[in-house]
Structure 1
Amino acid sequence: MAQEEKSYTPPPQNTDGRLGYLTNDQVHKLQKFWIKVYEVFDGRTPFDQSAPSSYKGQPQETEEDGMSPEGSFISSARNGTDKSINGYGSVAISPSSPKSQRSFSGWPSNSNSSVSGTSSNKSNRHSKVAPRFTGAQLHRTFWKLTMMEHPDMIMLKFLRSRKWVIEDAVKMLVTTLKWRIVENVDELIALSDVELDAKYPRFLEQMRSGKAYLRGADPLDRPICVVNTRIHHKSDQPAKTISRFALHMMECGRTVLPLGSETVIVIFDLSKFGLDNMDWRFVRLFVQCFESYYPETLAVCVVHRAPFVFWGLWKLIQPLLDVSVASKFIFTKNNAELHKVVPREVLPIHPYDGLDDWKYEYTSMQRGENDQMVDLDKKEDLLMERESLETKFDIVTRSWIKNTKQIGQTSVDRDVVAMELREQYFRLSPYVRARNMYQRQGVANDGHVQWSYNLKSSPPTSRPRTAPSAQRKQ
């Protein structure tokens, strides 16, 4: 056993182009990127305002229905009435408009909509007229995207993904922001598991099945996501449900990233995989997410125990992959090979011959866990505080990119505000974000991530994950 345990060698930490390790030239490119992005947000430069190419027509649900296409943690207050399901509240108020005009997630209400193609007429609810977007909308969506992360960390992911070509990075960011609006990604943050199950049939069944889950992290604090393909049959649930479940997993993954950590490890377990387990829609979504919508998030994708039938499919999948993403795929034939990529101590005893005496079990919701979400007055106060900090960061950033004496130099003032935003997000979160399973388990707790391992032949071990500061002196 000792011989096998030594087979794992932690990979070197890649700091190139990462926050806290930037060269002067990289900082300068980051400044130029911010300049171009603000030009889009301010409406000072033209950009493609049409919906993403993936847009197939979304239900144009109205404010009367309690939902709008954008989705986020700012929802219709329903005039202060709790309309949530089973007491698991997820109602919020936007601080940016009078209460009578506030709509779900900051999507403009019908009275002042800046998105063409939307309508309050219920006969138009399923219109396939693609929305058009404004810079101001994308600006609001950018701030929803950042959540607890340093805004520069988000920006740098797009720059690195586009090889530091600024115009390409701008296009990619704009496309991602439009995609998050059209796909209503922020709804997956605002709604509880029970509410998601009510809206997307058999959603809870996906969570209980264990077909995909997060468990543990490697020595570089990269969370591990396991996908058990043998459990999935595409005919067992609506296609929309599995896509929402997949995106929900992506957003849950962000909550188990400790400060300074940016990437995840995905293990596709193909044990007992057959053609009836193949789901091309899911494959396309997986590729799109890690290539375009969550760039620079995939550290390694391990394809484990691929059967003969898979290799014919791989010939069709591989051409779909960007070269950068394809390079992150590793194929392991058995557990011994898997242990060279992921340490045994964070892998379950069954089926990976790991050292963690653990098996997946869904942690159910507890009544009242989201009660703070219906405290509308407190929520509004925190949202106004959030908006004030976002404006503060925008102000210091605009000053930073205009100051010729700071070309290529980092800004301490910006880092201070970024940390204030992070701290404030965790105070705001209980009022705008439904708790997920990993928060219930105590793994993710206000930015602190701690996985507990039941090591074989050892007492239960708690292993805190504490990454170094995201911003270091250069």
Structure 2
Amino acid sequence: MTTLDNPDISESYKSTTRPLDGTLSHLTEAQQQALKDLWPIKVTRDQVKATHLSVAGISTSDAQAVDEWYAANKKIASDPKLQTVQDKMYLSGEREAVVPGKFKPLFSDDRGTRLFANTFWQACMLHESPDAYLLGFLRASVWKVDQAFNRVVVSVGWRAAQAIDELMWEGELGMHDKLLNDGVLFRTGYDKLGYPINIIRVKLNIPKERGDGVVERYAAFALEQTSIIARDNGERATLVYDFDGFGLGNVDKGFIKTLLTFINDSYPQLFSATIQYVDSWLFSGLWKVISGWLDPQIAKRTVISKNIDQLENFIDRDQIITRMGGSMDYTYKYVYPTKQENIKMFDTKSRLRAESVLKLAVDAILQTTKDWVAKPDVAGYIDQPRAQATDAFRSATLALDPYIRARFLTERTA
């Protein structure tokens, strides 16, 4: 496959025009009706047990308890295959709590369980609006409501079971230290449609250098970060796999399959384009396996670029880093988190106030959506009360955000 094999995506980038069909305010009557049909059947399911992708270990701000934990688990905390950012900081003498030790889920959920409805609303917080969240699954399902509903159920159930909210609360503290310091994945520049670029350096991904569970945590965390960044950039990003210098030791089918499974199930519309930047005979065999794992809609947005000229079909040269043949001067460096950047997470009273505002916004969306769905006339899409409720939800989301998750590198270095 070359860039010419996907004419639809190539045409969008050639014209530098974002495809808007099926997005907010760009719906046909049939698409709007599909959205209406999807809404009444969503937030009605029961509790889901949270088994946690978040890192196991110490969960307290008590300095003595932290010291005791590390004294008893020094071997694990020192193991490069398992060592997290938190472990590295503690063993290096940086022992101030970067985030509060005791995690508390939103909406009074218990740490060991999540209500499906509550997790649904938290997923919506990653998007311009709840409609935008649902529309992503409708587009991925080619506007088949039943399929879209099933995908929402799978995605929200996964988020609840894996405690994605707690994963983001811990932030980079729970991530594999070497993966972050090596810069296996980093963000820099924008593509021709104005979407932020994510680059995975396949050469730096060495499976034998990490332990069990590392990949799952890192993949979920990276996709959540990308969703947060994309929220203000058209809800899309571009993913580039840089295969320069990769060898057999970097072939990691487990990581690739995990990442693709997460994307297919829970982030099907996140990436505007996925670019395999590679010119290697070794890749051809790997691609035969990878291509079979792709969701058909994602496959349509996946291309192979063999050189800088083909890559320029999607990214201007001044947005391509020099190491990849472009003119952007960029050197990756990991900067460790600090308490100060997460200081609002320690302000419980302000968090509760912000959370109560979000609850009111959720109630308003539910009521105005109920009224909107009941209207027989589908022309006009969003009526004024519902538009106001959506704006209130968006504002409440942004206000609550700094109280419920740690900042990450892109925000830290801006």
Q: Above 0.5 in TM-score?
A: yes
**Partner of 1:167 in structure 2?**
146
The AA in structure 1 aligned to 2:156 is: L
* Matches for 1:4-403 after TM superposition, within 5 Å: 9-38=14-43, 40-41=44-45, 58=51, 86-90=96-100, 91=102, 93=104, 96-97=107-108, 103-104=110-111, 107=113, 137-149=115-127, 150-194=129-173, 196-197=174-175, 203-259=176-232, 261-349=234-322, 351-403=323-375
5+ residue gaps, structure 1: 1-7, 44-48, 52-56, 67-75, 109-136, 198-202, 443-474
Q: Distance in 2 between matches of 1:330 and 1:264?
A: 15
**How far 1:376 moved relative to its partner?**
1.3
2:125–2:394 Cα contact (<8 Å) kept: yes
How far is the alpha carbon of 1:9 from its aligned partner? Answer: 3.7
Counterpart CA distance in 2 for 1:336 and 1:260 is: 25
The one-letter code sitting in structure 1 at the alignment partner of 2:153 is V
Q: Aligned equivalents of 2:405 and 2:284: distance in 1? A: 41
Q: 1:408 to 1:30 in 2, by over 3 A?
A: farther
1:305-338 per-residue CA deviation (whole Å, 9 max, x = no partner) reads 2411111121122222222222222112222221
Q: Could you say what secondary structure the match of 1:174 adopts? A: helix
How many angstroms apart in 1 are the aligned matches of 2:30 and 2:66? 52
% identical equivalent positions: 22
Query: 1:96: Cα distance to partner?
Result: 4.3
Structure 2 gaps, min length 5: 1-12, 68-85, 87-94
Indicate if the aligned counterparts of 2:169 and 2:404 stay in contact, CA closer than 8 A: yes
Q: Following the alignment from structure 1 to structure 2, what is the Cα–Cα distance between the partners of residues 232 and 258? A: 27
The alpha carbon displacement at 1:406 in A equals: 5.2
Q: Quick one: distance in 2 between partners of 1:389 and 1:242? A: 36
Report if the CA contact (8 A) 1:348-1:357 is conserved. Answer: yes
Counterpart residue type for residue 41 of structure 2? K
Offset of residue 219 of structure 1: 3.7
Structure 2 counterpart of 1:29, one-letter code = A
For the 8 Å contact 2:198–2:239, the answer to whether it is kept is: yes
Aligned partners of 1:176 and 1:293 also within 8 Å? yes
CA distance in 1, matches of 2:407, 2:159: 20
Which SS does the other structure have where 1:191 is aligned?
Answer: helix
Instruction: Determine helix, strand or coil for the equivalent of 1:227.
Output: strand
Aligned mate of 1:404, from 368, 376, 386: 376
Cα displacement (A) at 1:289: 2.2
Q: CA RMSD in A?
A: 2.9
SS in structure 2 at match of 1:104: coil
Name the structure where helix makes up a greater proportion of residues.
2
CA separation of 1:342 and 1:103: change in aligned 2, threshold 3 A: same
> 1:372-424, CA deviations, whole angstroms, 9 ceiling, x for partnerless residues?
21211111121122112111111111121123345773223222222222222
Q: How many angstroms apart in 1 are the aligned matches of 2:42 and 2:170?
A: 30
Residues 95 and 152 of structure 1: is their aligned pair in 2 closer, same or farther, counting only changes over 3 Å? Answer: closer
Partner of 1:431: 403
Separation in 2, partners of 1:433, 1:59: 16
1:124-179 C-alpha deviation (Å, 9 max, x unpaired) = xxxxxxxxxxxxx2111011111152110000001111111111111110011111
In the other structure, the counterpart of 1:121 is none
After superposition, give the CA deviation of every residue in 1:266-316 in whole Å (9 maximum; x if it has no partner): 111111111110111111112212222101112111111241111112112
Aligned residue type for 2:24: L
TM-score (ref. length: structure 2) = 0.81
Letter matched to residue 341 of structure 1: F
